[in-house]
Chain A
Amino acid sequence: MQLLGDERQQQLDATFAALADPTRRAILARLANGQASVTEIAEPFAMTQPAISKHLKVLERAGLISRGRDAQRRPCRIEAKRLAAANRWLEDYRKFWEGSFGRLDDLLDEMKLDESKTTGATRKPATTDKRKRKQGDL
Protein backbone atom coordinates (compact mmCIF):
# COMPACT_ATOMS: atom_id res chain seq x y z
CA MET A 1 0.00 0.00 0.00
CA GLN A 2 1.24 3.39 -0.86
CA LEU A 3 -0.08 6.57 0.61
CA LEU A 4 -1.25 9.09 -1.93
CA GLY A 5 0.70 12.29 -2.24
CA ASP A 6 -0.92 15.42 -0.84
CA GLU A 7 -1.68 16.73 -4.29
CA ARG A 8 -3.39 13.51 -5.36
CA GLN A 9 -5.46 13.42 -2.20
CA GLN A 10 -6.65 16.94 -2.89
CA GLN A 11 -7.49 15.91 -6.43
CA LEU A 12 -9.57 13.00 -5.17
CA ASP A 13 -11.28 15.34 -2.68
CA ALA A 14 -12.21 17.74 -5.48
CA THR A 15 -13.37 14.89 -7.69
CA PHE A 16 -15.74 13.45 -5.08
CA ALA A 17 -17.02 16.91 -4.13
CA ALA A 18 -17.76 17.70 -7.79
CA LEU A 19 -19.51 14.34 -8.24
CA ALA A 20 -21.74 14.94 -5.22
CA ASP A 21 -24.14 17.05 -7.32
CA PRO A 22 -26.75 15.32 -9.54
CA THR A 23 -26.67 18.03 -12.24
CA ARG A 24 -22.91 17.72 -12.55
CA ARG A 25 -23.18 13.93 -12.78
CA ALA A 26 -25.77 14.32 -15.54
CA ILE A 27 -23.45 16.71 -17.38
CA LEU A 28 -20.63 14.16 -17.15
CA ALA A 29 -22.93 11.40 -18.39
CA ARG A 30 -23.77 13.61 -21.38
CA LEU A 31 -20.08 14.33 -22.05
CA ALA A 32 -19.23 10.63 -21.81
CA ASN A 33 -20.99 10.37 -25.19
CA GLY A 34 -18.79 13.03 -26.77
CA GLN A 35 -17.77 16.66 -26.45
CA ALA A 36 -20.42 19.40 -26.45
CA SER A 37 -20.78 23.18 -26.23
CA VAL A 38 -22.38 24.93 -23.23
CA THR A 39 -25.56 25.52 -25.27
CA GLU A 40 -25.75 21.86 -26.19
CA ILE A 41 -25.17 20.79 -22.59
CA ALA A 42 -27.76 23.22 -21.22
CA GLU A 43 -30.47 22.03 -23.64
CA PRO A 44 -31.97 19.12 -21.65
CA PHE A 45 -31.79 20.98 -18.32
CA ALA A 46 -34.38 23.38 -16.93
CA MET A 47 -31.58 25.76 -16.10
CA THR A 48 -30.15 28.95 -17.46
CA GLN A 49 -26.88 28.88 -19.36
CA PRO A 50 -25.07 30.85 -16.61
CA ALA A 51 -26.21 28.25 -14.03
CA ILE A 52 -24.85 25.47 -16.22
CA SER A 53 -21.63 27.45 -16.70
CA LYS A 54 -21.18 27.53 -12.93
CA HIS A 55 -21.41 23.74 -12.76
CA LEU A 56 -18.96 23.46 -15.64
CA LYS A 57 -16.48 25.63 -13.75
CA VAL A 58 -16.66 23.30 -10.73
CA LEU A 59 -16.11 20.30 -12.98
CA GLU A 60 -13.21 22.04 -14.72
CA ARG A 61 -11.57 22.98 -11.41
CA ALA A 62 -11.91 19.36 -10.27
CA GLY A 63 -10.14 18.33 -13.46
CA LEU A 64 -13.12 16.27 -14.58
CA ILE A 65 -13.62 18.22 -17.81
CA SER A 66 -11.54 20.46 -20.04
CA ARG A 67 -12.60 23.26 -22.39
CA GLY A 68 -11.51 23.65 -25.99
CA ARG A 69 -9.55 26.68 -27.22
CA ASP A 70 -12.09 27.79 -29.82
CA ALA A 71 -13.15 31.17 -28.34
CA GLN A 72 -16.72 30.99 -29.68
CA ARG A 73 -17.68 27.41 -28.90
CA ARG A 74 -15.24 26.33 -26.19
CA PRO A 75 -16.45 22.71 -26.36
CA CYS A 76 -16.34 20.70 -23.11
CA ARG A 77 -14.88 17.25 -23.00
CA ILE A 78 -14.63 14.71 -20.22
CA GLU A 79 -11.23 14.08 -18.61
CA ALA A 80 -11.38 10.33 -18.24
CA LYS A 81 -8.25 9.96 -16.13
CA ARG A 82 -9.57 11.85 -13.14
CA LEU A 83 -12.94 10.12 -13.23
CA ALA A 84 -11.26 6.76 -13.63
CA ALA A 85 -9.17 7.47 -10.51
CA ALA A 86 -12.32 8.03 -8.46
CA ASN A 87 -13.91 4.96 -10.02
CA ARG A 88 -10.85 2.84 -9.32
CA TRP A 89 -10.82 3.97 -5.71
CA LEU A 90 -14.43 2.82 -5.20
CA GLU A 91 -13.73 -0.42 -7.09
CA ASP A 92 -10.83 -1.27 -4.79
CA TYR A 93 -12.95 -0.53 -1.76
CA ARG A 94 -15.75 -2.68 -3.13
CA LYS A 95 -13.33 -5.56 -3.80
CA PHE A 96 -12.08 -5.44 -0.21
CA TRP A 97 -15.58 -5.85 1.18
CA GLU A 98 -17.03 -8.13 -1.47
CA GLY A 99 -14.19 -10.59 -0.82
CA SER A 100 -14.77 -10.44 2.91
CA PHE A 101 -18.55 -10.64 2.76
CA GLY A 102 -18.46 -13.52 0.28
CA ARG A 103 -16.55 -15.53 2.85
CA LEU A 104 -18.90 -14.35 5.58
CA ASP A 105 -21.87 -15.74 3.59
CA ASP A 106 -20.26 -19.19 3.63
CA LEU A 107 -19.46 -18.94 7.33
CA LEU A 108 -23.03 -17.89 8.19
CA ASP A 109 -24.40 -20.88 6.27
CA GLU A 110 -22.21 -23.13 8.42
CA MET A 111 -23.28 -21.34 11.59
CA LYS A 112 -26.96 -21.73 10.70
CA LEU A 113 -26.42 -25.44 10.09
CA ASP A 114 -24.57 -25.85 13.40
CA GLU A 115 -27.33 -24.01 15.22
CA SER A 116 -30.10 -26.10 13.69
CA LYS A 117 -28.17 -29.26 14.61
CA THR A 118 -27.90 -28.28 18.26
CA THR A 119 -31.42 -26.90 18.63
CA GLY A 120 -33.18 -29.03 16.00
CA ALA A 121 -33.97 -31.83 18.47
CA THR A 122 -35.82 -29.52 20.85
CA ARG A 123 -37.50 -26.99 18.56
CA LYS A 124 -38.35 -26.52 14.93
CA PRO A 125 -36.62 -23.82 12.84
CA ALA A 126 -38.14 -20.36 13.24
CA THR A 127 -39.21 -20.15 9.58
CA THR A 128 -41.43 -23.23 9.90
CA ASP A 129 -43.03 -21.86 13.04
CA LYS A 130 -43.80 -18.58 11.31
CA ARG A 131 -45.37 -20.24 8.31
CA LYS A 132 -47.57 -22.33 10.57
CA ARG A 133 -48.69 -19.27 12.45
CA LYS A 134 -49.61 -17.50 9.23
CA GLN A 135 -51.66 -20.46 8.03
CA GLY A 136 -53.40 -20.55 11.40
CA ASP A 137 -54.33 -16.87 11.05
CA LEU A 138 -56.08 -17.58 7.76
Chain B
Amino acid sequence: MLNTGTLRITTPTDNEIVLTRVFDAPRHLVFDALTKPDLLKRWFGPHGWTLVVCEVDFRVGGAWRFVLDGPEPGRSMGMRGTYLEIEDGVRTVHTEAFDEYPGNSVVTTVLTEKDGRTTLTGTVRYDSQEVRDAVVNSGMEHGAAETYDRLAAMLPSLG
Protein backbone atom coordinates (compact mmCIF):
# COMPACT_ATOMS: atom_id res chain seq x y z
CA MET B 1 0.00 0.00 0.00
CA LEU B 2 1.31 3.42 -0.92
CA ASN B 3 1.76 6.14 1.65
CA THR B 4 0.69 9.72 1.06
CA GLY B 5 3.59 11.77 -0.27
CA THR B 6 5.61 8.87 -1.63
CA LEU B 7 6.30 9.19 -5.31
CA ARG B 8 6.80 5.89 -7.09
CA ILE B 9 8.47 5.91 -10.50
CA THR B 10 8.84 2.85 -12.67
CA THR B 11 10.11 2.34 -16.21
CA PRO B 12 8.06 -0.68 -17.36
CA THR B 13 9.30 -0.42 -20.94
CA ASP B 14 12.00 1.46 -22.83
CA ASN B 15 9.75 4.37 -23.74
CA GLU B 16 7.36 4.53 -20.78
CA ILE B 17 7.44 6.03 -17.33
CA VAL B 18 4.76 5.41 -14.74
CA LEU B 19 4.35 7.80 -11.82
CA THR B 20 2.21 6.91 -8.81
CA ARG B 21 1.45 9.35 -6.01
CA VAL B 22 -1.19 9.47 -3.27
CA PHE B 23 -2.70 12.79 -2.21
CA ASP B 24 -4.59 13.38 1.02
CA ALA B 25 -7.54 14.99 -0.75
CA PRO B 26 -10.69 13.89 -2.57
CA ARG B 27 -10.53 13.19 -6.28
CA HIS B 28 -12.47 16.23 -7.50
CA LEU B 29 -9.99 18.61 -5.84
CA VAL B 30 -6.98 16.83 -7.35
CA PHE B 31 -8.65 16.87 -10.75
CA ASP B 32 -9.25 20.64 -10.47
CA ALA B 33 -5.64 21.23 -9.46
CA LEU B 34 -4.44 19.26 -12.50
CA THR B 35 -6.65 21.01 -15.05
CA LYS B 36 -7.38 24.61 -13.94
CA PRO B 37 -4.77 27.23 -14.89
CA ASP B 38 -5.09 29.38 -11.75
CA LEU B 39 -4.43 26.27 -9.64
CA LEU B 40 -1.75 24.77 -11.93
CA LYS B 41 0.26 28.00 -11.64
CA ARG B 42 0.56 27.42 -7.93
CA TRP B 43 2.23 24.01 -8.02
CA PHE B 44 3.43 22.84 -11.43
CA GLY B 45 7.18 22.81 -12.00
CA PRO B 46 10.34 21.63 -10.27
CA HIS B 47 11.86 23.54 -7.35
CA GLY B 48 12.92 27.03 -8.42
CA TRP B 49 10.76 27.07 -11.58
CA THR B 50 7.60 29.16 -11.99
CA LEU B 51 4.73 28.51 -14.36
CA VAL B 52 4.34 31.96 -15.97
CA VAL B 53 2.16 31.04 -18.94
CA CYS B 54 -0.63 28.51 -18.45
CA GLU B 55 -3.32 28.34 -21.11
CA VAL B 56 -5.70 25.40 -21.03
CA ASP B 57 -8.54 24.85 -23.49
CA PHE B 58 -10.03 22.00 -21.52
CA ARG B 59 -12.05 20.03 -24.05
CA VAL B 60 -11.27 17.08 -26.34
CA GLY B 61 -9.19 18.49 -29.19
CA GLY B 62 -8.39 21.59 -27.15
CA ALA B 63 -4.80 22.82 -26.83
CA TRP B 64 -2.74 23.60 -23.74
CA ARG B 65 0.39 25.71 -23.44
CA PHE B 66 2.82 26.12 -20.51
CA VAL B 67 5.92 28.28 -20.15
CA LEU B 68 8.11 27.82 -17.08
CA ASP B 69 10.72 30.36 -15.99
CA GLY B 70 13.85 28.84 -14.55
CA PRO B 71 15.91 29.81 -11.50
CA GLU B 72 18.53 31.50 -13.69
CA PRO B 73 17.57 34.68 -15.58
CA GLY B 74 16.63 34.08 -19.19
CA ARG B 75 16.20 30.36 -18.73
CA SER B 76 12.75 29.17 -19.65
CA MET B 77 11.04 26.04 -20.92
CA GLY B 78 7.93 25.83 -23.09
CA MET B 79 5.56 22.88 -23.30
CA ARG B 80 2.42 22.32 -25.32
CA GLY B 81 -0.09 19.68 -26.32
CA THR B 82 -3.66 18.68 -27.06
CA TYR B 83 -6.31 16.95 -24.99
CA LEU B 84 -7.26 13.63 -26.61
CA GLU B 85 -9.68 12.20 -24.03
CA ILE B 86 -11.43 13.64 -21.00
CA GLU B 87 -13.50 11.75 -18.45
CA ASP B 88 -14.46 14.57 -16.12
CA GLY B 89 -13.02 14.23 -12.65
CA VAL B 90 -11.47 10.83 -13.39
CA ARG B 91 -9.14 10.59 -16.35
CA THR B 92 -7.39 12.65 -19.03
CA VAL B 93 -5.24 11.73 -22.00
CA HIS B 94 -3.15 14.47 -23.56
CA THR B 95 -0.17 14.89 -25.85
CA GLU B 96 2.88 16.70 -24.57
CA ALA B 97 5.84 18.22 -26.42
CA PHE B 98 8.69 20.54 -25.47
CA ASP B 99 9.44 23.60 -27.61
CA GLU B 100 13.13 22.91 -27.91
CA TYR B 101 13.00 19.19 -28.54
CA PRO B 102 11.58 16.99 -31.26
CA GLY B 103 8.97 14.33 -30.62
CA ASN B 104 5.83 13.84 -28.61
CA SER B 105 4.63 11.96 -25.61
CA VAL B 106 1.14 10.83 -24.67
CA VAL B 107 0.26 11.24 -21.00
CA THR B 108 -2.59 9.27 -19.45
CA THR B 109 -3.61 10.47 -16.00
CA VAL B 110 -6.00 8.39 -13.90
CA LEU B 111 -7.34 9.35 -10.48
CA THR B 112 -8.86 6.86 -8.04
CA GLU B 113 -10.29 7.78 -4.64
CA LYS B 114 -10.37 5.66 -1.51
CA ASP B 115 -11.21 6.86 2.01
CA GLY B 116 -10.87 10.49 0.99
CA ARG B 117 -7.43 9.94 -0.52
CA THR B 118 -6.65 10.07 -4.19
CA THR B 119 -4.12 7.99 -6.08
CA LEU B 120 -2.73 9.59 -9.21
CA THR B 121 -1.31 7.25 -11.83
CA GLY B 122 0.42 9.00 -14.69
CA THR B 123 1.63 6.94 -17.64
CA VAL B 124 3.94 8.84 -19.96
CA ARG B 125 4.55 7.13 -23.27
CA TYR B 126 7.29 8.69 -25.38
CA ASP B 127 7.47 8.15 -29.08
CA SER B 128 11.22 8.02 -28.76
CA GLN B 129 13.81 7.65 -26.06
CA GLU B 130 15.20 10.99 -27.23
CA VAL B 131 12.18 12.84 -25.90
CA ARG B 132 12.18 10.95 -22.65
CA ASP B 133 15.78 11.97 -22.14
CA ALA B 134 15.05 15.59 -22.97
CA VAL B 135 12.39 15.86 -20.29
CA VAL B 136 14.96 16.42 -17.64
CA ASN B 137 18.38 17.93 -17.64
CA SER B 138 21.02 15.43 -18.54
CA GLY B 139 22.93 14.41 -15.48
CA MET B 140 25.40 12.64 -17.72
CA GLU B 141 27.17 15.94 -18.35
CA HIS B 142 27.83 16.51 -14.68
CA GLY B 143 29.74 13.44 -13.60
CA ALA B 144 27.27 11.73 -11.34
CA ALA B 145 28.12 10.54 -7.86
CA GLU B 146 29.31 6.99 -8.15
CA THR B 147 28.53 5.51 -4.79
CA TYR B 148 28.14 1.76 -4.99
CA ASP B 149 25.64 1.83 -2.13
CA ARG B 150 23.31 4.09 -4.05
CA LEU B 151 23.67 2.01 -7.18
CA ALA B 152 22.81 -1.20 -5.37
CA ALA B 153 19.90 0.53 -3.63
CA MET B 154 18.35 1.67 -6.90
CA LEU B 155 18.38 -1.72 -8.54
CA PRO B 156 15.26 -3.20 -6.93
CA SER B 157 13.29 0.01 -7.63
CA LEU B 158 13.77 -0.30 -11.36
CA GLY B 159 11.51 -3.34 -11.47
Contacts and interface: CB of A to CB of B under 8 A. Distances in A.
A107 B33 contact: yes
B151 A93 contact: no
Interface residues of B, number: 54
Nearest to A6: B130
Contacts of A94: 7, 9
A17 B158 CA distance: 11
Contacts of B5: 101, 105
A105 B39 CA distance: 12
Interface in B26-41: 26, 29-30, 32-33, 39
Interface string B89-131: 0000000000011000000000000001000000000000110
Contact of A85 (B23, B139, B148, B150): B139
Contacts, number: 158
21 contacts: A1-B138, A2-B137, A8-B140, A12-B129, A20-B13, A33-B148, A84-B146, A88-B140, A89-B138, A96-B136, A97-B21, A97-B46, A98-B7, A104-B30, A104-B43, A107-B39, A107-B42, A108-B23, A111-B29, A111-B32, A115-B29
